[in-house]
Each structure stands twice: as structure tokens, then as C-alpha cells.
Amino acid sequence: MSRLSDTSSFTASLPPVVLEVGELFNAAGHDLSLVGGPVRDLFLGRVSPDLDFTTDADPDQTVAVIKGWADAYWEIGRAFGTIGLRRMGYQIEITTYRAEAYDPGSRNPTVAFGTSLEDDLLRRDFTINAMALRLPSLELVDPFGGVRDLHGGFLRTPGTPSSSFSDDPLRMMRAARFVSQLGVSVAPEVSEAMTDMAGRISIISAERVRDELVKLLRGRAPDAGMDLMVATGLADHVLPEVAALRLETDEHHRHKDVYQHSLTVLRQACELETGEDGPVPGPDVVLRLAALLHDIGKPATRKFEPGGAVTFRHHDTVGAKLAAKRLRALRFDNDTVKAVARLVELHMRFYGYGEAGWSDSAVRRYVSDAGPLLERLHRLTRSDVTTRNRRKAERLAFAYDDLEARISALAEQEELASIRPDLDGEQIMALLGISPGPVVGRAYRFLLEERMEHGPLSHAEAETMLRSWWREQPESKESTQ
């Protein structure tokens, strides 16, 4: 976190559009203040592309001021007192002073317009977001010590935490998100209220919970944000499978702490993401979800064997199903659900390579099964090594280096990323004299297996193999009777 200073050191970095809109409202006889995240970000040495303002003007009055000045405006949020607009490339929201609260069983806020800036700041989530910059005077309004808390790295609420979280239970997840994004810690009273009120998150729609979770995962320390969710009980309602990873270790400590291991894998996966031009640009939500969820099948598959050994057989396939079910419940899109579940399913595939070695056909299958997820799978598998045994870690790293080298070598020869049978569907039907149907699919899969096993075949070799296979099929024998 950058060192804080007085307002004169950062107001010069304000986008001109901020002062411009301030002058417009002032000329129209209305108060206007830059508020919330954009003010906080000024203290952190960054300018937000999205600018939030609050005003004593009602939505009709706001439209009257900005109409003709804004490049475009929209009124989707009018019911909440918000008018959105675009100007000079900036997304701007201007909201009438307000207060909002949730009824005990409601998923949506009820809105009442307020009458003062200070009252508006009181209803905001945290003190670091309850600061405002009056326009056009540039007076900093900080009635709840937001600068102090930002400097100290603490997350506090303007009023009592219980009142804040009762008004909007999603603020509890937002606290975990800010831990991830900003590196702050929650104040003890905030943590206590989150723990006492964790169950209130259940009234929030799955879509809003998902969006907040994604923001947390995209932060610079998602493991810390997730740890807060687990510690306070929020994860019991949002990601219970992660909370369940806190398995009791046996008295002889024959298996590692699965929960702490998963947080470490998440952190290490973040470190392996690439820049914008790389194969896995960070922050990559799919990779981070897979890292967090990769072992969620372990609680259901844990077994104590005779002699005290602990096993988790098939936890990868069980975990893949659990991950897909949970992500669907959180309303993630189908592509994300399938990608994360597939990575969880494949994350154990590499183990054993270092001891037994793989044939070229096994390497081809590894690449083919990963498909477009291969680069993420590389990073997930490497991140999954959290052993403190230096020799074991080095041995696994060397083995995976070798596997990646073999993949690269085979890719140059065979275009592994797009492995197909040596004959396509049309050629199969022409050669066998059959019509479209299930038999064509079986023949296609047979040729794909042969391609995996033996590498590229010539057209003549593929035809010979297909004819040999066809002679053993019941449909071939029926056609000759």
C-alpha cells in the first residue's frame, strides 16, 4: 500500500471530467461529490476508470444537468437513484443521496433518498469507501476515519458492523474481497459480526454472490480472502466444499492439512500466471477456481487403511462432479463450469510419470484430454506440489519439465493440439459403404485410438486398419449374410 498524503498531492491527478461535472452541478445549484472507491484509489496512487458521484439532485434533476453534456446516458438504475453516463471514455454513475436496507427475507434493497452527504457516507460499506471529495472545491470529507484506516490497513464499518451487514449481507463477502484486493485486515469487531451473521448471506442472489467471489479471486491475495470466508463461516454457505477441506488430521499426521494445502496451491497458481502476451494471462479465474477446488473430493473419499495409511482414491473424479455442481449453483457460465471441472478431473493424471515413464501414446492422450486447457493444467499440476521435502519437490519438477519437453517435441512433429484420426467421417463411410449413424462414430473413435497409440499413419495404413476392424464388427457380418 502506498504512503498516504494530503489531498493536494493527488487532486492534480484527477481526470478533467471530474472537475468538469462538478462545475456543471455547482452552476445548476446542486451539491456533487466524488465518492467511494475512486476517492480511496486516489490515496492508493491510482485512478479508477469508473467514477462514482453522489448528489442532492434527484434523478430528474441529474438528467437535466448532464443531458447534452454526456456522450451518452442511461436510466437503468433510476429506481435506485442512479443515472449512468459516459463522457471522455469514463463510465460515470451519479446517485442521489440515499439509504438502503434489506428486509429479513429480501434479496433486493429497498431504497429511500437521503438529504445530506454525511448521512449518505454513513450507509456505505467500509470507512475506506466512506470518503468523499466535494466538487468543485476539492474538500475531503472523511467523517469516519477512512484515511486513518486505509493507512493502518484495517477494514472497519462507518456504523456498527452488525447494522452494516444487516443492511446488505453481501458486504461480508466484500470484506473478504478487499482483503484479497488491497491487502487489508478486518478489524476484530468486523470479523466477529461476520461470524455471527454469516447465515444472512443466504438471502443474497447466487448471481451477486458469484460476482463478488470472482472479484475476490481476481485479487492479488485470493488465498487470504478465502481464508477469511472460511474462518468466519461465510464459506459454509457459499463454498461449503472448501470449508469441508479442514479435515481432522490423524494423531500421527500421516496426511497433510488439505485445507492449507489448497490455499497454498491457489497462491502458487497465481504466481505461475503469465503476462498479457503469455498463454495464461493473470488473473485467470478458471485456473484459480481449479486450484482452490482441486481437492474438494477428498473429504468424501478419505479412508483409513489397515496400518494407518490414509487414502483418497478417485477424489479427482468425485471432486470434478462436486465442482461442477457448486459452480452451477453459483450461476457460473457453462464454459467456466466445464473448464474448472475438467481441470479438477485431470489434476492427478501426471502423477506416476516420474516413476514409470509414459509412452508417446500416453503423452498424446494427456494433451488430447487437456485440449485447450493444457497450459492451465501445466500450471495447476506444478502448483499442486507443496511438499517440504526438497528432493521430492525437485524430482517432481524435473519430471514435469521432462513431460513438457516431450509434449513440445511431439507437437512439432504431429500437431498435438489438433489430433484427429487419419480418415474423416466421409472417408470412413465411403470405405465401408455405410450411412451416417453410430457405427461411423465407433469407427472414428477406433481410428483416433490408433492415432494416439501409433502416431500419424499413412492413408493406406489407416484404410488397412479400418478394414481389419470392420471385419470384426457385427454390422459387417450382417451385411454379408
Same-domain check for residues 67 and 29 = yes
CB-based contact 282:273 (threshold 8 Å): yes
CATH of residue 291? 1.10.3210
Distance, in Å, from the CA atom of 164 to the CA atom of 171, rounded to the nearest integer, reads 8
So what's the pLDDT on residue 251?
A: 44
CATH of residue 53? 3.30.460.10
So what's the pLDDT on residue 290?
A: 98
Same-domain check for residues 87 and 130 = yes
Which bin fits 93, alpha (ψ -120 to 50), beta or left (φ > 0)? beta
So what's the pLDDT on residue 252?
A: 44
Same-domain check for residues 286 and 230 = no
CATH of residue 185? 1.10.110.30
Same-domain check for residues 307 and 395 = yes
| pTM value surpassing 0.85 | no
Same-domain check for residues 134 and 223 = no
Same-domain check for residues 73 and 198 = no
So what's the pLDDT on residue 3?
A: 36
Full domain range(s) for residue 284: 246-418
* Angle, CA of 224, 229 and 234, to the nearest 5°: 175
Residue 260 Cα distances to 31, 45, 255, 386, angstroms: 50, 33, 12, 10
Beta-sheet pairing, 90-96 with 132-135 = unpaired
Same-domain check for residues 338 and 381 = yes
Which bin fits 36, alpha (ψ -120 to 50), beta or left (φ > 0)? left
C-alpha cell at 166: 444487516
Same-domain check for residues 231 and 256 = no
Q: What three-state secondary structure class fits 32?
A: strand
Ranges of H-type helices in 30-122: 37-43, 59-66, 117-122
Same-domain check for residues 296 and 206 = no
Per-residue pLDDT of 136-157, as tens digits, reads: 999 999 999 999 999 999 999 9
Which residue, 152, 167, 195, sits at the end of a domain?
152
* Angle, CA of 246, 271 and 41, to the nearest 5°: 95
C-alpha cell at 366: 494427456
C-alpha cell at 204: 443474497
So what's the pLDDT on residue 379?
A: 96
Which residue, 418, 436, 466, sits at the end of a domain?
418
Same-domain check for residues 226 and 80 = no
Report the amino acid identity of residue 127: T
Buried b (16+ CB within 10 A) or exposed e, 357-376: ebebebbbbbbbebeebbbb
Distance, in Å, from the CA atom of 347 to the CA atom of 311, rounded to the nearest integer, reads 16
* 3-state SS, one letter per residue, for 309-330: CEECCCHHHHHHHHHHHHHHHC
Which residue, 418, 434, 458, sits at the end of a domain?
418
Same-domain check for residues 56 and 203 = no
Q: How many helices (H) and strands (E) does the chain have?
A: 25, 13
So what's the pLDDT on residue 113?
A: 79
DSSP symbols for 341-367 = HHHHHHTTTTTTHHHH---HHHHHHHH
Contacts of 42-47 with C-beta under 8 Å, sequence gap 24+, read: 42/10, 42/11, 42/13, 42/14, 42/133, 43/2, 43/4, 43/10, 43/147, 43/150, 44/1, 44/2, 44/150, 44/182, 45/2, 45/10, 47/13, 47/14, 47/15
CB-based contact 73:67 (threshold 8 Å): yes
So what's the pLDDT on residue 256?
A: 60
Give me the residues of the chain with pLDDT under 50, please. 1-5, 250-255, 481
Same-domain check for residues 20 and 138 = yes
* Overall number of domains in the chain: 4
